[in-house]
Structure 1
Amino acid sequence: MKKLLLFLLCAVLCLALCSCSGNGSSAPAAPKADAATPTPAPTATPEPAFEPLDWAAVTEAPAANFTYELSWDEESYRITAYNGTDAIVKVPAAIEGKPVTDLGEDLFRSNETITHVYLPDTVRYMGDSCFNNCPNLVQLHLPANLSEIAQATCKECRKLVQVDLPTALTSIRQSAFSECISLKEIELPATTTYMEKDVFDGCRSLTSFKAPGLKQMGQCALRDCVSLTELVLYEGMGLFNGNALNGCTSLTDLTLMPLTEESSYRVVFENGILYDVYGTEEPEYTALRMLPGYPADAVQLHPNTTKLEHSVFYGCQLRSIEIPAAVDTIPGNAFVQCKNLESITFAPGSQLRLLEMNCFSGCTALTAIDLSFVTEQLTMYSGAFGSNDALTSVKLPANVNATDPADYMFRSAKNVVISYQGKDYTYDQLSELKLVQE
């Protein structure tokens, strides 16, 4: 019996010794499988800084790299296709002793290899979409004697950083550089007078745009250039589309180059608004565009303002505005997405007659508007008050003609009360409000 007790005591002592470390402390527990140190996320490799190529050191590409044909005059060549594989391409100025004067449409379109292209000064004509969607093109030299940049020439060239513009350039066609998201600066020569729609649409890295001789700028020409802070235009600009600057939310100022010729009209910039001014003794002002980034809560239009341009305040930060008496139309999209706009008033003697399509759409802070002062018929187009959720009070004149029924015109304003011909209509009663004249 004693031997059995002695054996059990020895077993207990051995077990205690095995469970302790050499220094008397408990042995550390094995790490859990899920407690491993996480692997740090890989850091993105920054793009190397752009360094322009020295074209003088580059040899012309051989004629064998191109498909070409004689031009109509049989004195020059027209290149119709690129068959090479080089990333750097210097187009030859002459082939078989005759100058290269024309480049066909889609010449390099969707070419994923080219990074740098030089076009010789002998070229005087380029077809549409020559470099459309060339994803790796970073530098382009255009011919000095080229007078027109064709439609979609460099559309969606997302890595294009530098383009050498022709010194003889007079016009730029639709979407020529749209979605060139790496372009940072553009300076047009003074000879450039005409720019079509969407030319630099979506160039979100563009910070500076200078057009000292431009007389016509088309729709959405600089739309969504969200980094644009410097804008230089010509005082003699005759056609400026109001939505050309839509989405330029960083733009707070601009510079106007002085007139170089006598003209009965000019553009001026006052208190954040670009105006077209006609006449000298009693000039009439047309409000073309408020700069989207201009920091103004209360906007004071020039008292001689007789007209507002389409999209004049699109997306601006203004909180209140008074419309001058001579303005008879609130044009389409005039105040679209003015999300801070709380107050719209009209000067005494207002001649207001027409609210065009979507003119106040998206003014989500606007709670009330009084139009009861209108003495003649007020015409309201579709969507004039679309997406105006906060509207609670609308006062209409006695004579209204709308293109849409009231319950559709004010469909977003769930808490609105509309006063018309001596009666108040709540949202649930809008179907009874007859604004569409038969």
Structure 2
Amino acid sequence: MKSKKIISGLLALTFVLGGAAIPGTVVDNSVVASAAEVLTYGDYEYTINGGTAEITKYTGTDEVVEIPGEINGAAVTSIGEKAFVDCETLFEVTIPDGVVNLDSHAFHNCYRLIKVSMPDSVETLGRDVFSYCRALKSVTLSKNLKSLSYRAFYGCNELADIQLPSAIKTIDDEAFRSCSNMENIDLPEGLESIGKDAFRECAKLSAITIPDSVTYLGSFAFLNCSALADVKLSVNLTEICISTFQNCKSLESIVIPEGVTKLDYGAFYSAENLKRISLPESLKTISLRCFSGCKKLEELTIPASVESIDKNAFGTVNVINCYNGSVAEKVALANGINIKVIDAKDKTEYPDLKSAQFDSKYHQFRINWTKVEGAQQYGIAVNLAGKWKVQAYTDANTTTFTSPKLKSGSKYDMAICAKVNGKWETTDFTKRAFTIAVK
């Protein structure tokens, strides 16, 4: 009751002031913001804006449709949002010359649509423009398209091949996701960016060349591309993002170009037939599960440039080829992964580790080191309670040591020293130390 009295009072005040409480500018804005009138032309609903027409809805049931280029003297320049959405009868559509824009979801879920002819006047595609057109086999794209929109062809199961125009700069996220029959696509030189999930679940895609103009390749870009066997990467990439090649089960080898600094989480996770991978000297970071599930990747060479490696990056990799004193050497030894030291010399000033092997059945390890000129004896020292103690010895001709059976999971800080001229050589002793994990 009280609120009704207040409202009545305000209305009375407005009438007394002759409407002065409502400024004229508000009235003007309401006129400007009014929606365009929806008109009808045959099977089409449309609006007029700036003298040109936008088709907003198709109400017909024809199987083959040629969209008019002009309606009552107004050029058709846009196919509006959801104009043909869920059109069950549509098999083929021709978009007229002069159309500049296909708005979001314009042909979404036209699940019988087989063929689309697009004029070169088209410059922009809205999101999901042809998503879930499951029968779509043939698309002629405008030569003036610069971007393939978000989910543009998502779920177009029958789309086996598509010719991209040379003007394309961007393939947006999920643009070709779940195009399960796509076998081939040529990416034009000049393309700059490939979004997340762009080719995810393109199960028949067997080869891809990323042109050198591409500087960004998004996460999950080729996830679950199970037939992908041949990949050439752009030399201008700086990162292989999260799960980019996860579950690419046909991929056997790949070269990571110089300039890449990071392999992100799960980059090659479960690429189970990957046997060879070449890593660049620019590489700094190898992330969690990068090579987990790569069952046939028995040997991996890690450049000395790498500064950070997650302890769970390697999965079942059997041997790490690494450099003396490198992060890769330390991580491998600390996680029970066999190593071979690339830059090991025959003779050195003090013993350098050359290799390490681990036996998970008997919980033992074997290490091999470089010879030292004039060495009379070698000692395997272990840090126990903060003090270094020699726990085993070998003669001057033996540069290999096999541990006794130890407890699985235990870790030891170790170093190898040499006795020269009756004295144990301990130069940079703690820097030369390494941690061994028993499998």
Normalising by structure 1, we get a TM-score of: 0.59
Residue in structure 2 matching 1:339, options 283, 289, 295:
295
Deviation at 1:325, TM superposition (A): 6.0
- Summarize the alignment of residues 214-225 of structure 1 with structure 2, pairs less than 5 Å apart: 214-225=191-202
Amino acid at match of 1:193: K
Residue number in structure 2 paired with 1:417: 409
Structure 1 contact 417–424 (Cα < 8 Å) conserved: no
Aligned length: 306
Residue number in structure 1 paired with 2:187: 211
Deviation at 1:293, TM superposition (A): 3.5
Query: 2: CA distance between counterparts of 1:164 and 1:375?
Result: 51
Structure 2 contact 91–112 (Cα < 8 Å) conserved: yes
Cα distance change, pair 151–306 in 1 and its aligned pair in 2 (3 A): closer
Residue number in structure 1 paired with 2:214: 237
Residue number in structure 2 paired with 1:328: 284
Cα distance change, pair 139–339 in 1 and its aligned pair in 2 (3 A): same
Query: 2: CA distance between counterparts of 1:158 and 1:225?
Result: 14
Deviation at 1:223, TM superposition (A): 1.7
Deviation at 1:169, TM superposition (A): 1.0
More strand by share: 2
Residue number in structure 2 paired with 1:142: 118
Structure 2 contact 126–150 (Cα < 8 Å) conserved: yes
Q: Deviations over 1:295-347 (max 9, x none)?
A: 34xx6766x56523435434432246575665331136532542333344534
Amino acid at match of 2:222: L
Query: 1: CA distance between counterparts of 2:282 and 2:172?
Result: 31
Query: 1: CA distance between counterparts of 2:211 and 2:232?
Result: 15
Work out the percentage of aligned pairs sharing the same amino acid.
25
Query: 1: CA distance between counterparts of 2:172 and 2:181?
Result: 20
**SS at 2:261 equivalent:** strand
Do structure 1's residue 189 and structure 2's residue 165 form an aligned pair?
yes
Residue number in structure 2 paired with 1:103: 79
Residue number in structure 2 paired with 1:308: 262
Residue number in structure 1 paired with 2:108: 132
- Summarize the alignment of residues 14-413 of structure 1 with structure 2, pairs less than 5 Å apart: 63-71=41-49, 73=50, 75-212=51-188, 213-241=190-218, 243-253=220-230, 273-277=232-236, 293-296=250-253, 304=258, 307-310=261-264, 312-316=267-271, 317-319=273-275, 326-331=282-287, 334-347=290-303, 349-355=304-310, 359-360=313-314, 363=315, 365-366=316-317
Runs (5+) with no aligned partner, structure 1: 1-61, 254-271, 279-284, 380-390, 399-414, 428-438
Q: CA RMSD in A?
A: 4.1
Residue number in structure 2 paired with 1:387: none
Query: 2: CA distance between counterparts of 1:394 and 1:148?
Result: 64
Query: 1: CA distance between counterparts of 2:185 and 2:275?
Result: 28
Q: Deviations over 1:339-388 (max 9, x none)?
A: 333344534x45432439x855xx4x446879995669x99xxxxxxxxx
**SS at 2:42 equivalent:** helix
Q: Deviations over 1:172-210 (max 9, x none)?
A: 111100111101111111111111111011112111101
Cα distance change, pair 157–67 in 1 and its aligned pair in 2 (3 A): same
Query: 2: CA distance between counterparts of 1:394 and 1:286?
Result: 38
Structure 1 contact 246–314 (Cα < 8 Å) conserved: no
Cα distance change, pair 322–209 in 1 and its aligned pair in 2 (3 A): closer
Amino acid at match of 2:200: R
Cα distance change, pair 123–242 in 1 and its aligned pair in 2 (3 A): same
Cα distance change, pair 273–232 in 1 and its aligned pair in 2 (3 A): closer
Query: 2: CA distance between counterparts of 1:314 and 1:175?
Result: 25
Structure 2 contact 140–163 (Cα < 8 Å) conserved: no
Cα distance change, pair 116–370 in 1 and its aligned pair in 2 (3 A): same
Q: Deviations over 1:85-136 (max 9, x none)?
A: 2122111111111111112111111221211111111211121111111111
Structure 1 contact 179–200 (Cα < 8 Å) conserved: yes
Cα distance change, pair 70–332 in 1 and its aligned pair in 2 (3 A): farther
Cα distance change, pair 394–89 in 1 and its aligned pair in 2 (3 A): farther
Cα distance change, pair 225–325 in 1 and its aligned pair in 2 (3 A): same
**SS at 1:163 equivalent:** strand
Amino acid at match of 2:268: F
